Structure 1
């Protein structure tokens, strides 16, 4: 089934691209979630008319994402305090939600937990310094060091 993507979808395509997908994937997921529309002649003409406006929005989003990445890179590192045992093992763990909250507070940019790329796709369970990647926009990534310290009670 031929569709036009209305949103950037990983491993499928970018906004505005015309792709062929399985009909069930299109009917049950992409079209109901407004991520795609059928590639009929009428829809293709409508979409081409909106193409210029979409390109300007994409350029604006790209520049804003680059500014966000530069700001986060300038931070260098963030510190998160957590309770830990004698051996440096945390009571609980530090996950992507905790890191996203700390980065949002430090940078002023809204970073969601889905943008955080943890090492080994796992939570952080010990005191130390970790290098974390942040997926800002399509091909824009930022790197920040997360320092986990013992919380003194």
Structure 2
């Protein structure tokens, strides 16, 4: 088995895991909000933890969702310079930008982990759910580490057929 096959398998597993987590968090958020609204309307009862649980689920969705966005090239970018450069130089600039993004995300993952460690020492808990706050902050290092991995993965991937065609012209 070659390194390329292992990388493809790992990519498929990670992509599936990201998708499952994002779908589960979205379903959980919607279900909690619908239950809270229904209970308010029909039973005159509110779930005091519903807004907090939904907020934390959305935070996790944002940070986990950055990874598939990085893999698909869906993050905001300005391509005016790469469009004006010859294809070979434009491709090099894109790869350099992707590697810089990977490095930036890796640094943010490291600082995010430092924040999580600090939150563990403080033993702070969330107001309604009384969860350890480090669990909420853990979204930062995990999300940024995943984005760093995905940016590096795209930078290291072979040029697409369209890229190869542009390089030939």
Structure 2 length as normaliser, TM-score? Answer: 0.30
Select the structure that is richer in strand.
Answer: 1
Q: Which has the higher relative contact order, 1 or 2, with Cα contacts under 8 A spaced 6 or more apart?
A: 2
Select the structure that is richer in helix.
Answer: 2
